[in-house]
Amino acid sequence: MAVQLGPVSLDHLTDVRVRDRARVARHAVPALNGDLIQQLGRSSVELRLTGSFFGPDAATQLAALREAFRSEQQLDLLADAAADGYVANVVVTGLDVTQQAGHVDRFDYRIQLLEYVRPPAPTSLDALQGIDTGLASEAAGYLDDVQDGLAQVAQLTALTQIAGFGDPTAKAPAMLTGYQEAGGGRTEPATTIRDLLSSGG
């Protein structure tokens, strides 16, 4: 049985063991015969492969297997016996090597693998994600209009604070006095108009 573990070909396997376990939570419920079971998925598949390297390339093959173990990286696994083929990536968690006396070009090994599951994508923290961009633009335009209106009101309020800006009839009596002086002392019409303005109508 041949198994490809990353760059290493394991051609001479004598034993392949696969362990697959489900994760469940057991909850004791008063007056219930038995436990309440909650399914929590499954654990990563565990594999144990036993085999040998022999021949002139045995030492080179063993060195490649050790390098794969020491890399501490996830490796691709191609094997029909690896839990019906649904284990695609693994990490090496253990490696045992035995060399028998008198067999220079033979190494027996036992390697332990654990299924590697890629972590899920991080959850986006963008509070505006999923909001219609058209609605967001319309709301932004509305806020701009409100701000422009408030700015115009503020300008009008500032104008009323300018000295001399207010009731235009307040200066009318003084203007009529000047008119009287220019009229050569004829004060009757001007006085009548001034009295009307001073009395408010």
pLDDT at 82: 47
Say whether both 105 and 155 belong to one domain. no
Give me the CATH number covering residue 51: 2.40.30.200
Average pLDDT along the chain: 77
Q: What average pLDDT does this structure show over 153-166?
A: 61
Question: Does residue 154 or residue 21 have the better pLDDT?
Answer: 21
Say whether both 158 and 109 belong to one domain. no
Say whether both 99 and 163 belong to one domain. no
pLDDT at 25: 92
Which residue, 45, 44, 51, 43, is CA-closest to 16?
51
pTM for this one?
0.55
Q: Number of structural domains, the chain?
A: 2
Question: Does residue 54 or residue 200 have the better pLDDT?
Answer: 54
pLDDT at 200: 53
The length of the chain, given as a count of residues: 201
- Least confident stretch, 11-20, 53-62, 125-134, 150-159: 125-134
- The set of residues, in sequence order, having a beta carbon less than 8 Å from that of 40 and lying 6+ positions away, is 23, 24, 25
Angle at 170 between CA 165 and CA 173, to 5 degrees: 140
Question: Does residue 111 or residue 82 have the better pLDDT?
Answer: 111
Confidence of residue 83 (pLDDT cuts 50, 70, 90): very low
**Domain presence at residue 120:** no
Residue 1 scores a pLDDT above 90: no
